[in-house]
Protein backbone atom coordinates (compact mmCIF):
# COMPACT_ATOMS: atom_id res chain seq x y z
CA UNK A 1 0.00 0.00 0.00
CA UNK A 2 3.03 2.33 -0.05
CA UNK A 3 2.53 3.11 -3.73
CA UNK A 4 2.12 6.89 -3.69
CA UNK A 5 0.37 6.80 -7.07
CA UNK A 6 -2.86 5.73 -5.39
CA UNK A 7 -3.01 8.76 -3.07
CA UNK A 8 -4.16 12.17 -4.32
CA UNK A 9 -3.60 11.48 -7.99
CA UNK A 10 -2.52 14.65 -9.80
CA UNK A 11 -5.30 14.26 -12.36
CA UNK A 12 -7.87 14.58 -9.53
CA UNK A 13 -6.26 17.64 -7.92
CA UNK A 14 -8.52 20.26 -9.50
CA UNK A 15 -11.66 18.22 -8.80
CA UNK A 16 -10.61 17.78 -5.14
CA UNK A 17 -10.06 21.54 -4.91
CA UNK A 18 -13.50 22.22 -6.35
CA UNK A 19 -15.10 19.82 -3.89
CA UNK A 20 -13.36 21.60 -1.00
CA UNK A 21 -14.38 25.08 -2.10
CA UNK A 22 -17.94 24.14 -3.09
CA UNK A 23 -18.63 21.69 -0.28
CA UNK A 24 -21.96 21.28 1.42
CA UNK A 25 -22.84 23.08 4.65
CA UNK A 26 -22.69 19.69 6.39
CA UNK A 27 -19.14 19.10 5.14
CA UNK A 28 -18.05 22.57 6.27
CA UNK A 29 -19.58 22.03 9.70
CA UNK A 30 -18.04 18.60 10.18
CA UNK A 31 -14.66 19.89 9.02
CA UNK A 32 -14.76 22.57 11.74
CA UNK A 33 -15.43 19.80 14.27
CA UNK A 34 -12.62 17.42 13.25
CA UNK A 35 -9.82 19.57 11.82
CA UNK A 36 -6.67 20.46 13.70
CA UNK A 37 -6.39 17.23 15.67
CA UNK A 38 -9.46 18.23 17.69
CA UNK A 39 -10.73 14.64 18.00
CA UNK A 40 -8.31 12.76 20.24
CA UNK A 41 -5.32 14.18 18.36
CA UNK A 42 -6.32 12.48 15.09
CA UNK A 43 -5.38 14.06 11.79
CA UNK A 44 -8.09 14.22 9.14
CA UNK A 45 -7.76 15.13 5.48
CA UNK A 46 -10.58 16.70 3.52
CA UNK A 47 -11.42 15.57 -0.04
CA UNK A 48 -8.56 13.08 -0.06
CA UNK A 49 -8.34 10.71 -2.99
CA UNK A 50 -7.40 7.06 -2.90
CA UNK A 51 -7.33 5.35 -6.25
CA UNK A 52 -10.10 6.99 -8.24
CA UNK A 53 -12.23 7.63 -5.15
CA UNK A 54 -12.41 11.00 -3.44
CA UNK A 55 -13.25 10.64 0.23
CA UNK A 56 -15.09 13.42 2.05
CA UNK A 57 -12.80 12.98 5.06
CA UNK A 58 -9.95 10.57 5.73
CA UNK A 59 -7.92 9.73 8.84
CA UNK A 60 -4.69 8.04 7.68
CA UNK A 61 -3.70 6.69 11.10
CA UNK A 62 -7.04 4.86 11.47
CA UNK A 63 -7.48 4.10 7.75
CA UNK A 64 -10.94 5.56 8.24
CA UNK A 65 -13.09 7.37 5.69
CA UNK A 66 -16.07 9.46 6.73
CA UNK A 67 -18.70 10.08 4.10
CA UNK A 68 -21.61 12.49 4.40
CA UNK A 69 -24.62 11.60 2.31
CA UNK A 70 -27.18 14.09 1.04
CA UNK A 71 -30.41 13.50 -0.80
CA UNK A 72 -28.65 12.26 -3.93
CA UNK A 73 -27.72 9.13 -1.97
CA UNK A 74 -31.32 8.30 -1.04
CA UNK A 75 -32.13 5.91 -3.86
CA UNK A 76 -31.43 2.24 -4.45
CA UNK A 77 -29.00 2.77 -7.33
CA UNK A 78 -26.83 5.26 -5.45
CA UNK A 79 -27.00 3.14 -2.27
CA UNK A 80 -25.70 0.14 -4.25
CA UNK A 81 -22.92 2.27 -5.72
CA UNK A 82 -21.97 3.52 -2.24
CA UNK A 83 -21.91 -0.04 -0.91
CA UNK A 84 -19.71 -1.23 -3.79
CA UNK A 85 -17.36 1.71 -3.26
CA UNK A 86 -17.12 1.04 0.48
CA UNK A 87 -16.41 -2.65 -0.20
CA UNK A 88 -13.67 -1.77 -2.68
CA UNK A 89 -12.08 0.66 -0.22
CA UNK A 90 -12.14 -2.06 2.43
CA UNK A 91 -10.93 -4.95 0.31
CA UNK A 92 -8.38 -3.14 -1.84
CA UNK A 93 -7.07 -0.45 0.51
CA UNK A 94 -8.09 -1.73 3.98
CA UNK A 95 -10.04 1.47 4.61
CA UNK A 96 -13.19 1.37 6.72
CA UNK A 97 -15.99 3.82 5.90
CA UNK A 98 -18.42 5.46 8.31
CA UNK A 99 -21.44 7.00 6.56
CA UNK A 100 -23.76 9.60 7.98
CA UNK A 101 -26.67 11.53 6.56
CA UNK A 102 -25.94 15.25 6.31
CA UNK A 103 -28.64 16.02 8.87
CA UNK A 104 -26.73 14.08 11.56
CA UNK A 105 -23.99 16.73 11.45
CA UNK A 106 -26.54 19.31 12.59
CA UNK A 107 -28.89 17.21 14.71
CA UNK A 108 -26.47 14.85 16.48
CA UNK A 109 -22.88 15.96 15.89
CA UNK A 110 -21.74 14.11 18.99
CA UNK A 111 -22.84 10.85 17.35
CA UNK A 112 -20.22 11.34 14.63
CA UNK A 113 -17.47 12.23 17.09
CA UNK A 114 -18.41 9.27 19.28
CA UNK A 115 -18.39 6.93 16.26
CA UNK A 116 -14.86 8.08 15.40
CA UNK A 117 -13.70 7.63 18.99
CA UNK A 118 -15.37 4.20 19.22
CA UNK A 119 -13.77 3.11 15.95
CA UNK A 120 -10.34 4.21 17.21
CA UNK A 121 -10.84 2.50 20.57
CA UNK A 122 -11.91 -0.75 18.93
CA UNK A 123 -9.06 -0.61 16.43
CA UNK A 124 -6.43 -0.08 19.09
CA UNK A 125 -7.89 -2.61 21.50
CA UNK A 126 -8.29 -5.44 18.98
CA UNK A 127 -5.50 -8.02 18.79
CA UNK A 128 -3.21 -7.67 15.79
DSSP characters for 64-76? EEEEEE-GGG-SH
pTM: 0.86
CATH of the domain at 70: 3.40.960.10
Tens digit of each residue's pLDDT, the chain (128 residues): 445 578 777 787 775 777 777 889 999 999 999 999 999 999 999 999 999 899 999 999 999 999 999 876 567 888 899 999 999 999 999 999 999 999 999 999 999 999 999 999 998 886 65
pLDDT of res. 74: 67
pLDDT of res. 8: 79
Residues in CB range of 16: below 8 A, 6 or more apart: 8, 47, 48, 49, 54
If one counts the domains in the chain, the total is 1
Amino acid sequence: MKDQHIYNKPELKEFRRQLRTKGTPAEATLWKMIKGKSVDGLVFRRQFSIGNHILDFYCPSLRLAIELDGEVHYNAVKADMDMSRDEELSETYQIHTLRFENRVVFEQPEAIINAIKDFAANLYSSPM
